Structure 1
């Protein structure tokens, strides 16, 4: 996989040249997207190499955190430009994409080769239940504002959003304490090393991580700058870009890893990538973006009605599928089908 991604690095200098020569917004969006995908892969590879020099638990935490770093960087630039709809849609889209598209594709690919696959039921129950409660908590402010008479509400929701973000962030810290200390035995089987050794030195891994992060920041600025003119010229909605395109671009490398792990019959890893990444988006990335928005223009955490419905339905379905500790290709097809239906609806906006 990394061999293919290395060839895609050619799009980085092309996108830089395109920025100076003022290529059309659509072309710049495509070039930036094609540049971010291999950079995200390099960031993931660097993080994985660093994990060999730490404990397995710390390594797993670093992989999960930097797995969402690309999307976080893109969202920060979108915040700076005031594209709040894109940022909120990307938060919802990341969760929906992970629990439907990534988990579904993993179950489909793994199920075709291995018929029925098993994974750690206890870990999936803890993760999927935490995700369900987190999304419900994230949905409460939206339900609150959408159901009450607007005359009874303060027109500004910054205080509510910051309060909810703070609670979510505290839950995230407590979930780390739960998995690292009080209930680490549940995760012990998933955190054992398989005898693999680092291919890079620690200095090289750190250098790759730093350089990839800087390059992603540059390409993210190109990408975000092209969103509005590109959507206008193609007749797309910012919701579609935020909920479908941005999450796929930011997490493409991580998504491919989950599918490869499923094909290798390592369904535990694939499920944890899909559900664990979604959990971190809700409990870590979303609150951090709310806090960062205070430096520019405060962003509310209120989702529109369809984003809300898509989020809740996606998590309920994934929760149901993942709780039995087994998967097959038909369950994968079902998850992908729901994702396609949601994507088509957003495309029609």
Structure 2
């Protein structure tokens, strides 16, 4: 417990944990104050995501490289997954799909671009392992092609088109999960030497395994409770702020869910550990596309009011495709400077502005 309290004291981001009891009490006291609950839920999820990330890393430290890598891969996006499952249960499929597409775009453009920019402002040119970037951007590009297929079938206007789309989505979900597993096998087992990066500085002392697992379980429950408040209040709050559900899912949910990972990626870039930044940004994006999205499709048959498919609105597919192609092109050189990061951030800003001006309910 001392390690946990020490981490909270030294990390200003974790001071925001005070918002967790505040939002839980506010939800009981004023359940109709949707805008206030939305803001409080966002402020509460950010430190919970940071604590979840730290606990996951501590557990991974104790399990060895292969299992640790698998844990980081499967638990790294747990915040986004919990929010998406909560929205899935509530039948808010637009929010779910927007959060999936938004997480891919946010990680591959905003997180990667900001890492390049922050690192480039301190170092003239930075280098990183091209093999890791190529693998993750290749997986991301393949997953994007899978997202194009249901939209293409929908445009054919087939008889029983919805049934065809559902069957196709199930098949694609299974294929994506298999590709995800093979990618882990390739990078963590058969060809792990290609993805080794030089370590700089001393690693922090990990938490005791009991504390890490206890924190992981406790924070997961709290994230689930706060996510429920977030999903219940998001629609009314979006109307108050003049935002479409697509913007909320694509931008707000993605940024909130990835806050902890961003803090680690940005810090690593400033320490000239760009390998770690690229791995976090593109690894998280490919995990969302290859694991979280297909798992949500399969879960919708159990927890949703009706099955969810992988048919995204055309704008989302276009943005994800552009992000995947851009990430693939950028990471091909293995070198970066601040202006490359600025360009990625401008592309992300263009997408965000486009979604913001779209009237609520018009993107589907």
- C-alpha contact 1:8 1:35 (8 A) present in aligned 2: yes
Shift of 1:152: 4.7
TM-score normalised to structure 2 length: 0.91
Deviations 1:217-251 (A, max 9, x none): 00000000101221233332100001000011111
Residue 95 of structure 1 aligns with which residue?
104
Aligned partners of 2:47 and 2:320: how far apart in 1? 28
Shift of 1:153: 5.4
Residue 165 of structure 1 aligns with which residue?
173
Aligned partners of 2:322 and 2:204: how far apart in 1? 41
Deviations 1:186-232 (A, max 9, x none): 12346x79763534211011111111101000000000010122123
- C-alpha contact 1:84 1:299 (8 A) present in aligned 2: yes
Please give the secondary structure, in 1, of the residue aligned with 2:161: coil
Which deviates further from its counterpart, 302-311 or 137-146? Answer: 137-146
| 1:204 maps to which of 181, 191, 211 | 211
- Matching of residue 334 in structure 1 with residue 310 in structure 2: no
- Matching of residue 7 in structure 1 with residue 21 in structure 2: no
Please give the secondary structure, in 2, of the residue aligned with 1:294: helix
Deviations 1:90-131 (A, max 9, x none): 110001000110000000000000111000012211221221
Shift of 1:48: 1.2
Aligned partners of 2:73 and 2:117: how far apart in 1? 23
Q: Which runs of 5+ in 2 are unaligned?
A: 1-6, 359-364
Residue 132 of structure 2 aligns with which residue?
123
Shift of 1:336: 0.2
Deviations 1:314-340 (A, max 9, x none): 111111111100011000000000000
TM-score normalised to structure 1 length: 0.95
Residue 322 of structure 1 aligns with which residue?
331
Which deviates further from its counterpart, 13-22 or 129-138? Answer: 129-138
Which deviates further from its counterpart, 255-264 or 174-183? Answer: 174-183
- Matching of residue 279 in structure 1 with residue 286 in structure 2: yes
Q: Which runs of 5+ in 1 are unaligned?
A: none
Please give the secondary structure, in 2, of the residue aligned with 1:200: coil
- Matching of residue 112 in structure 1 with residue 103 in structure 2: no
Shift of 1:141: 1.8
- Matching of residue 60 in structure 1 with residue 69 in structure 2: yes
The number of aligned residues is 346
Aligned partners of 2:162 and 2:66: how far apart in 1? 44
Residue 268 of structure 1 aligns with which residue?
275
- Matching of residue 19 in structure 1 with residue 24 in structure 2: no
- Matching of residue 174 in structure 1 with residue 188 in structure 2: no
Equivalent residues in 2 for 1:185-204 (5 A)? Answer: 185-189=193-197, 196=203, 198-204=205-211
- Matching of residue 256 in structure 1 with residue 263 in structure 2: yes
- C-alpha contact 1:67 1:251 (8 A) present in aligned 2: no
Residue 192 of structure 2 aligns with which residue?
184
- Matching of residue 346 in structure 1 with residue 352 in structure 2: no
Which deviates further from its counterpart, 130-139 or 261-270? Answer: 130-139
Residue 362 of structure 2 aligns with which residue?
none
- Matching of residue 46 in structure 1 with residue 55 in structure 2: yes
